[in-house]
Amino acid sequence: MTIHKNFGVHTLRKSILIVVLTLLFANVVSSKEIDSCQTISSPGEYMLNTSITNSSLFSCINITSSDVIFDGAGFAIDGTATSGTKGVYVYNSTNVLRNVTVKNLKVTDWYYGIYYLKTQNGTLSWNTASSNIYGILLSQSSYNNLTRNTASLNSPGIMLYQSSYNSLTNNTAISNAYGIDLSSSNFNIITGNNASSNSDNGIILFAFGFTGNYNIIYNNYFNNTNNSRILSLPNTWNTTKKPGINIIGGTYLGGNFWAKPDGTGFSQTCADSDGDGICDSPYVLYGNNIDYLPLANKQGKK
């Protein structure tokens, strides 16, 4: 009787193991490998298995389907710096695309490095865009998450145009002309980003008509000769003061850190009489665009 029970348990465990291995194997083989420029027109997971260099095509990876994951696997898609070209282009002329992920990819020498047009609920993560005109561009796109991307040596590093309800978190925009560019884009959340050493502005906000307002921008690190250029109605530049590790390691969340390479930035010179890591005075950027809780150099005494 005991032998039969043990045999049954052993058989059950073996069956479970077979099912688990089958599922794991199915997940592995479900990713289609890509080694050249092409159009992705069906849902699924796709993985780049080699770098593509000096592509002369007008657009390299065209994603025209919803529910696509494109994993660059650390490889690069390189163009020839020709006007209008696109490294990754996510767009379908007949319907709005949803749930498109582009990750772990390097894009260089394109007019548009990664371009989402009329795309919703997508994700861009761990990508590097360098030496393009537009590093990463979202146009007429909403509810997308951009996280841990790096943009350098582009004109705008990361740009949102007529795009709302997107989230930009923990991205790095360094040594572009403009670090982060929000043009005619509303209700986006910009937090935890580093925009430094950009030649024109760290962040720029333009409003055409009545759009380009009401974005929430806090806990970002700005260190540029000109940190901001704002031609829009009010945006929110801080959250409510609360305990939490901020962008420069302090113990309170509030507004943003405003530095300049020569050490004369507002956050570098402001008074912080109670040592809580928040400047005693608000920082007026432009008109009603005010950071009421700018971060200070001295952190965490209270």
Domain residue limits, the chain: 37-291
- pLDDT above 60: residue 25: no
On the 0-12 / 13-18 / 19+ scale of CB atoms within 10 A, 26 is exposed
- pLDDT above 70: residue 194: yes
Residue 210's pLDDT is 53
Residue 13's pLDDT is 57
- pLDDT above 70: residue 9: no
Residue 27's pLDDT is 46
Q: Is the dihedral of CA 7, 8, 14, 18 positive or negative?
A: positive
In this prediction, residue 19 has a pLDDT band, given cuts at 50, 70 and 90, of very low
SS3 content of the chain, % helix, strand, coil (to 5): 10, 40, 50
Q: How far apart are CA 173 and CA 148, in angstroms?
A: 10
Q: Which of 156, 151, 191, 143 is nearest to 170 (CA)?
A: 191
- Token pair 């420029």: residue: 37
**pTM, to two decimals:** 0.88
Residue 246's pLDDT is 97
- pLDDT above 60: residue 172: yes
Residue 10's pLDDT is 54
Question: Could you tell me the CA-to-CA distances from 15 to 11, 12, 18, 27, 54 in Å, in that order?
Answer: 6, 5, 5, 19, 50
Q: What is the pLDDT of residues 141-164, one digit of tens each?
A: 999 999 999 999 999 999 999 999
Letter for the amino acid at 285? L
Residue 211's pLDDT is 57
Average pLDDT over residues 19-37: 66
Q: What is the pLDDT of residues 208-261, one digit of tens each?
A: 665 557 899 999 999 999 999 998 778 999 999 999 999 999 999 999 999 999
Average pLDDT over residues 55-73: 98
In whole numbers, what is the pLDDT of the chain averaged over residues? Answer: 90
Residue 29's pLDDT is 46
Secondary structure in 3-state letters for 113-163? EEEEECEECCEEECCEEECCCEEEEEECCECCEEECCEEECCCEEEEEECC
- pLDDT above 50: residue 165: yes
Which residues have a Cβ under 8 Å from the Cβ of 244 and sit 6 or more positions away?
Answer: 251, 252, 253
Q: Which of 27-41, 71-85, 225-239 has the lowest mean pLDDT?
A: 27-41
Phi, psi of 17 (to 5 degrees): -60, -40
Question: Could you tell me the CA-to-CA distances from 156 to 4, 50, 224, 254, 289 in Å, in that order?
Answer: 70, 27, 14, 26, 21
Average pLDDT over residues 261-274: 96
Q: Which of 11-20, 38-47, 75-84 has the lowest mean pLDDT?
A: 11-20
CB 210 within 8 A of CB 228: no
Which residues have a Cβ under 8 Å from the Cβ of 34 and sit 6 or more positions away?
Answer: 46, 47, 48, 49, 61
